[in-house]
Amino acid sequence: MLCYAGGMITENWVSKKELLQLTGISYGQLYRWKRKHLIPESWFVRRATFTGQETFFPRDAIIERVQLILSLKSETALDALAQQLQNPEQWQERLPARQLWAAAETGPMPAAVADMWAGREAEQVSRSEFLAGLAWRRWGGALPVDAVQTWFAVLRTVPPDWLDYPELEIIGWPGAQGWQFGVLQSPASLWLGGLKPPFRAELGPVCQTAKAAWQAVAITQTSSPAKPQSKF
C-alpha cells in the first residue's frame, strides 16, 4: 500500500478546516497550542489546492495529539505538558508494549510484531521497536513475513531529527538476500535519479503516531523517575 502520490494530498493528511470539525477545537486553541509548542510547527504543512494555499496536517499524528492534549489539559498545565512533550529524553527508555499498542489504536498486533517483541522483559519495548512494529502493522501485509527482521533493523537507524518530517518515506526492493529497505528524508531525490522502488510508503505520519502514543503512555508512568535517555 503506497501512500504518497506525487506530492498530492492523500487520505493520510487532514486539512485545518476538517481537523477543527473532527475534534471540536477552535482556530484559537489550535494556534495557541502551536505557540506553546504542544504541536510541532513542522506539522503545519502548506499545500497548493485548487482554491489556493491551504494548511494540512499528518492525519493520524495530529488527531492523536489533539486528543492527548484535550484529555490531559485539565490535569496538567499547558506549559508543563509542553515541557513533557518537548523533552522525550526525560521519558523512560522502555514502556509496556500492549499499553503503547492500545494508545495508538492500531487494532490487533500482527504475529510478526509479537514475535519480534517476544522475550522482552514484561513486554517492555524501546521507542525504535515500537515505531518499527507500528509501521509493520500498517504496511507489512504488502511484504513477505521474512522481511520483518530487515524492516526492524532499518527503522532503528532513523535519526531522531528526521522524525518530525511529514514527507519521510520508506522504500523497499527485493534482492538476492531478501527484501532491503531504506528511509528517505527527501523523497523527491528518487525521481531525479529515475528510481522507482517497488515498495514506497509515507512514514512521517506513522512516526508522529508512534511519538504521540509513546508520550501518552510515558506521561502516565509514575512508578519510578525517568532517566535521561536519547531523544525519540
pLDDT in tens, 31-45: 999 888 888 887 888
pLDDT of residue 224: 46
pLDDT of residue 3: 34
Range of the domain at 31: 13-86
Together in a domain, 80 and 192: no
Distance (Å, whole) CA 51 – CA 76:
39
Is a pLDDT exceeding 80 seen at residue 202?
Answer: yes
Residues facing residue 173 across a β-bridge: 180
Average model confidence (pLDDT) for the chain? 76
User: CB within 8 A of 33, min separation 6: which ones?
Assistant: 39, 69, 78
Residues facing residue 57 across a β-bridge: 14
Q: Which of 43, 67, 86 is the last residue of a domain?
A: 86
Question: Residue 77: what residue type?
Answer: A
Cell of 44: 503545519
Question: Residue 139: what residue type?
Answer: W
pLDDT of residue 9: 36
pLDDT in tens, 49-103: 777 788 988 888 888 888 888 877 765 677 767 766 665 444 447 888 888 999 9
pLDDT in tens, 143-187: 998 899 889 888 877 766 666 677 788 888 888 878 988 887 766
Q: Which of 59, 86, 113 is the last residue of a domain?
A: 86
Together in a domain, 134 and 75: no
Together in a domain, 114 and 211: yes
Together in a domain, 104 and 195: yes
CATH of the domain at 29: 1.10.1660.10
pLDDT of residue 29: 93
In terms of Cα–Cα distance, which of 19, 23, 16 is closest to 56? Answer: 16
User: CB within 8 A of 74, min separation 6: which ones?
Assistant: none
What total number of domains does the chain contain? Answer: 2
- How would residue 127 be classed by pLDDT, with cut points 50, 70 and 90? confident
Query: What count of Cα atoms within 13 Å lies in the side-chain half-sphere of residue 101?
Result: 19
In terms of Cα–Cα distance, which of 173, 101, 102 is closest to 136? Answer: 101
pLDDT of residue 86: 62
Q: Which of 23, 57, 86 is the last residue of a domain?
A: 86
In terms of Cα–Cα distance, which of 67, 70, 128, 120 is closest to 98? Answer: 120
Together in a domain, 61 and 131: no
Together in a domain, 42 and 108: no
Is a pLDDT exceeding 70 seen at residue 190?
Answer: no
User: CB within 8 A of 212, min separation 6: which ones?
Assistant: 61, 64, 65, 68, 103, 104
Distance of CA 58 to the CA centre of its chain: 9
Together in a domain, 198 and 134: yes
Distance of CA 203 to the CA centre of its chain: 7
Of the listed ranges 71-80, 130-139, 182-191, 219-228, the one predicted with least confidence = 219-228
Q: Which residue has the higher pLDDT, 217 or 10?
A: 217
